[in-house]
A and B are shown apart, each in its own frame.
Chain A
């Protein structure tokens, strides 16, 4: 079991930037357990993603991938184990030998360091694309950073929309945008708080095949930027392309993890092999 390696596709400057802030975006998940009622959905997950690393989580439906992502930004509380970002526990404060549950406000601060992109976008339909992007930087309490003024947020928002290729649609409402455009706005929205870590939960599975690539291209760009990415996806070609660690989950456990090379072409576990051979064979022919 190898932990994540820093991606080799990084440009030198990006790599240097990552080195400068060495602890930016280190995710450590340790023995995390989570049950819904009687069903145990996460059965002791341990996973480390290095700063600037790109981890892609794959696995059959119901294996707990979404749940794992949601525990990382504390949308879901864990029953046991812990999750730390750059050495700081998510959702709890350590005092002496006690773990104190953080108050809502503190948790919100932590969440601003972790962006999340949802499968069904969850854009705010009554706000324009630009307003969607600027809302959080104006109101969210951020750790060590001031809130942005409306004008600053606007500039930053336009800059981000430009980055995802949607500057000219800044005034459009989400329902006036195509699915791919909506998801790109959602990515810009997640980026607006300048997060250390970005979580993607099947960002392309609600999209038409033609629209998938425009979103994946944006994510590819992010992968080179030094932000830590954790991506749940069924796009195997994309996973192989962008990941430096591929994690295969099944029934609430990590069955196997390694480089795309190891996992896709040479899986050690029988379960991994049968999953790939059955489900997504054609995707290997990139």
Chain B
């Protein structure tokens, strides 16, 4: 087999490189495939049972023709027509009022609102996941008290509507006039303040979003930790690796693979979820947009402005997600998948006319 097949595989011009990785096991098929019928191919020997015995032909001079996928092209064309149609209607229907959208898209008030949205997302996302991590560890600990506290936390915050939580925090002053920090069951107070001054719109918004987020992320992180094989912990223990290091160096990096997709789902949900703080009249992106369209009556274009910004944020996050996930897949997959950039480069290298020319030259030598 090696005498005839390998030279072909080696001399195959890169255009078919996508196929090359999977092909080497069946070199005869590949050798037989690309050779156009009627050319000088010794059709009797290639592909018949006696492959590699008689045929000493060196296929180095043959040009390799990649397999064609006509239906893939049909599908691509159909979808392209659909996409073009949608784009056309978006562009030409005057009711979308793109002029208004453009005018407001980078307006100062909108940008301010956007910043507030990002701030809320970042703070409550970060705090939420940190608290969630602690809750997850509590839930996995051996202490029944810690387990039940963690469980109860998740139970309460997952069963209360976020809207209610938000309003509850904002109106905490109604329930408890003062907030103080001191030794329980004594009169010692280190700190005391009016609830209403302490919990304004921002604090209520962050509190509500954080606690809610923590309840959900606790479960996500716990799930990730549980997905790591018990043998990993055992091996680390047997090696005398300290407990904290076991969690951070051995378990968490592996848990991240399971945690990340869902965690990013949550963060993206949170970006839009922050719009719920409109009930506190907090001027983040969505509230700002509402205020504006109530004034100008340009409802749809302004909603479009908000939507476009959400799309932008989500897209940026998705890129982050891709690269972070790729980082944590180290060692979990045999070969790392190409990044979109690398893929694009590879595609261009194959499909640009210039590349094709040079490849052909090399192929035919």
A interface with B by C-beta (< 8 Å): 73, 75, 104-105, 108-109, 111-112, 114-116, 118, 120, 122-128, 135-136, 139-142, 173-176, 189-190, 193
Given A73-B238, A123-B235: 7 more A-B contacts, CB < 8 Å: A104-B243, A108-B237, A108-B242, A122-B234, A124-B250, A135-B239, A141-B240
B253 with A126: CB separation less than 8 A: yes
- At the interface, yes or no: B334 with Cβ under 8 Å from chain A? yes
Task: Please judge, given known A-B contacts A112-B240, A126-B253, A135-B249, whether A175 and B334 are in contact too, CB under 8 Å.
Answer: yes
Known contacts A120-B231, A124-B250, A126-B253; A111/B240 CB under 8 A: yes
Across the interface, do B240 and A140 meet the contact criterion of CB distance under 8 Å? yes
Q: B242, A175: Cβ atoms under 8 Å?
A: no
Complex: A42 Cα to B125 Cα, angstroms:
50
B87 beta carbon closer than 8 Å to chain A: no
Contact call A125/B239, Cβ cutoff below 8 A: no
Interchain residue pairs with CB less than 8 A apart (23): A73-B238, A75-B237, A108-B240, A109-B240, A112-B240, A114-B238, A116-B238, A122-B231, A122-B234, A124-B232, A125-B331, A126-B332, A128-B331, A135-B241, A136-B239, A139-B241, A140-B242, A141-B242, A173-B330, A173-B331, A174-B331, A175-B332, A190-B239
| Chain B nearest Cβ from A205, distance in angstroms | 15
A126 to B331, CA, bound (A): 4
In the complex, A184→B223 CA distance in Å? 32
Q: Which chain B positions have C-beta within 8 A of A116?
A: 235, 238
Q: Does the CB pair A124–B242 fall under 8 Å?
A: no
Q: Which of B232, B240, B242, B254 contacts A122 (CB 8 A)?
A: B232
A61 CB to nearest chain B CB (Å) = 19
A118-B234 Cα distance, complex, nearest whole Å: 10
* A140 surroundings in chain B (CB, below 8 A): 239-242
Alpha-carbon distance between A114 and B234 when the two chains are bound, in angstroms: 14
Q: In the assembled complex, how far is the CB of residue B24 from the closest CB belonging to chain A, in whole angstroms? A: 18
Q: Which single member of B240, B331, B334 contacts A193 (CB below 8 Å)?
A: B240
From B243, which residue of chain A is reached at the shortest CB distance?
A104
* B154 smallest CB distance to A (angstroms): 28
Give the bracket for the number of chain B residues in contact with chain A: 20 to 34
Is there an interface contact between B231 and A75, defined as CB atoms closer than 8 Å? no
B333 interfacial contact with A, CB 8 Å: yes
Interface centre among A122, A136, A175, by most chain B C-beta atoms within 10 angstroms, is A122
B249: nearest chain-A partner, CB-CB: A135
Q: B362 on the interface (CB 8 Å rule)? A: no
Query: Which partner residue on chain A sits nearest B231 by CB separation?
Result: A122
Roughly how many angstroms separate A123 CA and B254 CA in the complex, as a whole number? 12
Q: Does B245 contact A (CB under 8 A)?
A: yes
CB-defined contacts of B238 to chain A, threshold 8 Å: 73, 75, 111, 114-116
Bound complex: CA A176 to CA B253 (Å): 18
Chain B residues contacting A124 (CB-CB under 8 Å) are 232, 235-236, 250, 254
In B216-259, which residues have CB < 8 Å from any A CB? 229, 231-232, 234-243, 245, 249-250, 253-254
B304-333 to A contact mask, C-beta < 8 Å, 1/0 = 000000000000000000000000101111
For A110, give the chain B residue with the smallest CB separation: B240
Residues on B close to A: CB < 8 A? 229, 231-232, 234-243, 245, 249-250, 253-254, 328, 330-334
Q: Across the interface, do A112 and B239 meet the contact criterion of CB distance under 8 Å?
A: yes
Q: Which of B232, B235, B240, B332 has the most CB of A within 10 A?
A: B240
Complex Cα distance A123/B253, Å?
Answer: 14
Contact among B245, B253, B331, B333 for A139, CB-based, below 8 A: B245
**B333 to chain A: which residues have CB within 8 Å?**
175
- A193 neighbours in B (Cβ, 8 Å): 239-240
B236 partner residues in chain A, CB cutoff 8 A = 124
Question: Complex: how many Å from CA A174 to CA B332?
Answer: 9
Q: With both chains docked as a complex, state the minimum distance between the C-beta of A78 and any C-beta of chain B, in angstroms.
A: 17
Cα–Cα distance between A105 and B246 once the two chains are bound (Å):
13
A111 proximity list for chain B (CB < 8 A) = 237-240
Given the known A-B contacts A75-B234, A125-B254, are A136 and B331 also in contact in the complex, defined by CB atoms under 8 Å? no
Bound Cα distance from A32 to B235, whole angstroms: 23
B241 and A136 contacting across the interface, CB-CB below 8 Å: yes
Give, as a whole number of angstroms, the nearest-CB distance from B327 to chain A: 10
Residue of B231, B241, B242, B243 contacting most chain A CB atoms (<10 Å): B241
Q: Are the C-beta atoms of A125 and B332 separated by less than 8 Å?
A: yes
Residues of A contacting B328 in the complex (Cβ-Cβ under 8 angstroms): 126
Partner of B240 from the list A120, A123, A142, A175 (CB cut-off 8 Å) is A142
Shortest distance in angstroms between A158's beta carbon and chain B's nearest beta carbon? 18
Q: Which residue of A lies closest to B330 (CB)?
A: A126
Would you give the shortest CB distance from A156 to chain B, in whole angstroms?
Answer: 14
**Closest residue of chain B to A128, judged by CB?**
B331
User: How far, in angstroms, from A114 to B250 measured CA to CA in the complex?
Assistant: 20
> Does B331 lie within 8 Å of A127, measured CB to CB?
yes
Inter-chain contact B239/A189, CB cutoff 8 Å:
yes
Alpha-carbon distance A190/B236, docked complex (angstroms): 11
A208 to chain B, nearest CB (A): 18
B242-A126 in contact (CB<8A): no
Taking CB atoms, residues of chain A closer than 8 Å to B245 are 139
Closest CB of chain A to B251's CB: distance in Å? 10
User: In the bound complex, what is the Cα–Cα distance between A116 and B231 (angstroms)?
Assistant: 12
CB-defined contacts of B250 to chain A, threshold 8 Å: 124
Contacts of A126 in B (CB 8 A): 253-254, 328, 330-332
Residues in B with CB closer than 8 Å to A115 are 238-239
Give A109 to B239 CA distance when docked, in angstroms. 9
B239 surroundings in chain A (CB, below 8 A): 111-112, 115, 135-136, 140, 189-190, 193
